[in-house]
């Protein structure tokens, strides 16, 4: 079975630990979807979207290992997708999240995906764009990009709630 990886399973070393019998095939492109983060990588339908990833050929034991790693079917579900590999359409399976709010990935997880992009020589611009779209989503996370009004908070004495400023 062909499997389309677009998140942490792009990291070849990590994938080899999880699924030692998985055979790396080639980079692939999934049209009509875009990469988002719900703490972890996910793909959502978007007619103008493109997701870069890679194909692996999996054994039945690899499939069981990935189902366990992806917490399928609770967190992720398997979907069938058509990817473009060497300019040829290929049927593959992929994992898509069942639900969850859009939220940024942690640094370690993001680093694993970035290593995978490097392993497969994929353009990291789409990966960075997906992460930045989450970080820049003021509405979803209550993040304010406004400059502070008058400088750092000043402590008025014991017990006040002003944050402590640390030296770098």
- Any idea what the CATH number is for the domain that residue 35 is in? 3.10.490.10
Is the full-model pTM beyond 0.75? Answer: yes
For the ranges 77-86, 121-130, 147-156, which has the lowest average pLDDT?
Answer: 147-156
Strands 2-5 and 41-57: antiparallel
85: containing domain: 2-139
User: 129 lies in a domain?
Assistant: yes
Gap between the Cα atoms of 162 and 164, Å rounded = 6
- The answer to whether 96 touches 79, Cβ cutoff 8 Å, is yes
For the ranges 38-42, 70-74, 133-137, which has the lowest average pLDDT?
Answer: 133-137
User: 159 lies in a domain?
Assistant: no
User: 111 lies in a domain?
Assistant: yes
User: 158 lies in a domain?
Assistant: no
Per-residue pLDDT at 37:
95
User: 23 lies in a domain?
Assistant: yes
**Local confidence band at 89 (pLDDT 50, 70, 90 cut-offs):** very high
Tally of domains within the chain: 1
User: 165 lies in a domain?
Assistant: no
User: 153 lies in a domain?
Assistant: no
User: 115 lies in a domain?
Assistant: yes
DSSP 8-state class, residue 158: T
């Amino acid at each position: 079975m062909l499997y389309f990886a677009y998140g942490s399973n792009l990291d070849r070393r990590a994938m080899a630990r999880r699924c030692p019998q998985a055979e790396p095939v080639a980079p692939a492109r999934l049209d009509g979807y875009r990469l988002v983060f719900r703490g972890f990588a996910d793909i959502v339908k978007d007619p103008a979207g493109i997701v870069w990833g890679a194909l692996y050929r999996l054994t039945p034991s690899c499939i069981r290992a990935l189902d366990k790693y992806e917490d399928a079917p609770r967190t992720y579900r398997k979907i069938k997708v058509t990817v473009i590999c060497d300019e040829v359409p290929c049927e593959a399976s992929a994992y898509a999240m069942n639900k969850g709010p859009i939220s940024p990935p942690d640094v370690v997880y993001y680093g694993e995906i970035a290593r995978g992009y490097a392993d497969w020589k994929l353009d990291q611009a789409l990966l960075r764009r997906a992460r930045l779209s989450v970080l820049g989503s003021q509405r979803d996370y209550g993040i304010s990009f406004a400059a502070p009004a008058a400088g750092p908070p000043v402590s008025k004495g014991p017990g006040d709630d002003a944050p402590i400023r640390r030296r770098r």
